[in-house]
Structure 1
Amino acid sequence: MSDFRSVATPLVPNEHLESPTQEEVNELNKLDINYRSSVGSLSYISTATRSDISYTVSALSQFLEKPGIRQWKAFLHVLRYLRGTADL
């Protein structure tokens, strides 16, 4: 994660997360990532200290049952945002 550049917003502007296709789900499954746990960690951070990511966490949480690679990229975008705003 140290090679991520920071971003100014917790969610890509004008991006609407939609239900993933089966191909996108399979692509994420190949990466062997625990999306549910990752979003759960963001939820804790949002509740405890960073309310500015609440909307994004809510949007990502809609896909806990069947996430795709687009949702994972949105999750990584939040991490980049948090990295750039750690001093807030």
Structure 2
Amino acid sequence: MYNIGNKSFTELEGEYDVSKATMSRWIKKISPVNVFETETITMKEYQALQKKIRELELENEILKKLQPYLQKNYRRSYELHQ
């Protein structure tokens, strides 16, 4: 409603009986963020993507640390079956 210009910030505050800080947080969360010239996402989607990136980076680090052990066990298993 605020983004499309139907109501002012003050009108929305009064209508929903919330503080200015809460209203600002809501608007920031749903306002579009330009990721490319032709593509936008909401702040909530952007934060979800950041969280997913952190999870994948952690998973990647774990796999990198496991790689030597997995290779060693693979070679040992391969040699036993030869």
Q: Point out the structure with the larger strand share.
A: 2
Relative contact order: is structure 1 or structure 2 higher (C-alpha 8 Å, sep ≥ 6)?
Answer: 1
Query: Under TM normalisation by the shorter chain, which class is it?
Result: under 0.3
Q: Give the structure with higher Rg (CA).
A: 2
Structure with greater helix share of residues: 2
